[in-house]
Amino acid sequence: MNLTVIGTGYVGLVTGACFSEMGNNVTCIDVDIKKIKNLKKGIIPIYEPGLEDIVLKNVKNNSLHFSTKLSDGLSNADIAFIAVGTPMGDDGSADLQYVLQVAKQLGQEMQKPLIVVDKSTVPIGTGDKVAAVIQKELDKRGVNIDFHIVSNPEFLKEGAAVQDFMKPDRIVIGAKSDIAFDKMKDLYAPFTHNHDRIITMDIRSAEMTKYVANAMLATKISFMNEVANICELVGADVNQVRIGIGSDSRIGYSFIYPGSGYGGSCFPKDVKALKKIAEENGYKANLISSVEKVNDRQKMVIANKVVKRFGQDLSGKTFAIWGLAFKPGTDDMREAPAIYTIKDLVKRGAKVKAYDPKAIEEAKSFYLKDIKGITYFNSKYETLENVDAMILLTEWKEFRSPNFEELKLQMKNSIIFDGRNQYSNLNLEKKGFEYYQIGKKA
């Protein structure tokens, strides 16, 4: 099929690249001239395992194209995917200005029947708004062109997005017409060759499914972090509790690992948006509000442990930070616990020596660029010389089995604050460390 994907951010680029990998002719559109020039040169704006390879391969095969002009992708397109950003507004709602701008442009420029797919995470009812905007522009032109609206939310995990797209758990398609359902099923057929994972529903239910999925996962995380904090107070070990409850098939082990809170581009934004959607419809979402409050508090849990150990004034103290990204496998630092921890430590007078395998440039250029007192290093061991403690905030694989003798040799104090409980089963106290983790008294 001929596809156009509008927006070359995380979702749009992965979507376009993966569809081209399956033999479709894909044109990705973006208003960012520099980004498009770089993509044409093979420079990928985000880190995502496997993405660069399939982009370069399909650009070379002439099945993946990039342009700043919508007309370049729309002239022969069977399906147009809207994958632009829906940033969070000041009131917590999703900002639809970019989605509706694209809808307006589609109405102004489309020349033949088209399936229009909302791939962005959008509030319930957005499909109706997109349809209305497109129809308004067609009416202005005095033309009658058939189009069909589809909601096809993405369920991609950062760090495994390509794998998730190529081997999806489910493909949710919300539409009103058999024409739209049939076209989308044909498009996704190569991804469901071994097992039919397509779930069809109405548009509003598809829009809601995305929000509920992320809110449910966020709820599990916040619930377990709340349990971890209670465990510390009563003298229980949350790591043992996790095993005890996870063995129940009704609960399972996924997303019940205690830590320093969730971050990223989806969970924080989508939880706020769902809460706002409820409020706009006259309902107070108490549980969802609590999920957010618990997470906001949890992002400070490691900083609070440091203060409890070293005191309110951290002047003259230096801390090694292992991990800046909100999770391993990505350079994304949006709402990362590291941001909150580092800012609090520096505010109290401390100096920070930081390392992350992928996110250092993001920290330098945006998230921590105005924060003084931070030095960045090219390896985890370089951060350790003469530090008062090491703080682990992202569970990268390379952090799982460090040389603990090297840590003791370089650090001023053999103290570890583990914001992801990576070392909870290693008995570090017996190795001569002061060890602070989530959900267990030190």
Can you state the percent helix, strand and coil of the chain, rounding each to 5?
A: 45, 15, 40
Query: 74 to each of 65, 80, 197, how far by Cα in Å?
Result: 12, 7, 29
Residue 353 parent element (H or E): strand 351-355
Q: How far apart are the first and last CA of the chain?
A: 59
Distance, CA of 5 to CA of 11 (rounded, Å): 10
DSSP-derived secondary structure for 379-434: STGGG-TT-SEEEE-S--GGGSS--HHHHHHH-SS-EEEETT-TTTTS-GGGGT-E
Which are the contacts of 257, defined by CB distance < 8 A and separation ≥ 6? 224, 242, 420, 421
- The catalytically annotated residue of 18, 28, 231, 266 is 266
E strands present in 134-225 = 147-151, 171-175, 198-201
Give, as one character, the DSSP assignment of residue 94: B
Distance, CA of 100 to CA of 131 (rounded, Å): 10
266 assigned to active site: yes
Question: Which residues belong to the active site?
Answer: 266
